[in-house]
Amino acid sequence: MARYALALDLKDDPQAIAAYEESHRKVWPEIQKSIIDAGIDLMQIFRTGNRLFMIIEAGETFNFDRKAEMDAANPKVQEWERLMDGFQQRLPWAKSGEKWVVMDKIFELRAED
């Protein structure tokens, strides 16, 4: 199982943040299916202020390029992305066309069993 951590900012607007959170309380079934079909077993999004943090756990066959291809071919995912894009702003260091930025793990502590 692979784990990924990603970050993205929301527009610093309380109404936009509230609307984004409301949208995620009612994620469309087609979006949930697209996430599962891409090989993602767990997806969680956390927020502090206008910063979002996403955790993805996926099997070894998952890769971001394949997910991007699947998303580009899915009209409902594209509709969702256009809607979410109205609430989001790119991180200053994001590459061109990049929304969610994969974070580098810099520390881990694991208690011994």
Number of domains present in the structure of the chain: 1
| 107 part of a folded domain | no
Domain residues for the domain of 97 are 2-102
Predicted TM-score (pTM) of the model is: 0.92
The CATH number linked to 45 is: 3.30.70.100
| 112 part of a folded domain | no
pLDDT of amino acid 89? 96
49: closest CA among 19, 14, 84? Answer: 14
Tell me 29's DSSP state: H
pLDDT of amino acid 18? 98
Contact by Cβ (8 Å): 101, 92: no
| 24 part of a folded domain | yes
47: closest CA among 11, 97, 86, 80? Answer: 11
pLDDT of amino acid 112? 87
| 113 part of a folded domain | no
Q: What is the mean pLDDT of each run of 10 residues along the chain (113 residues)?
A: 97 97 97 97 98 96 95 98 97 95 96 84
| 54 part of a folded domain | yes
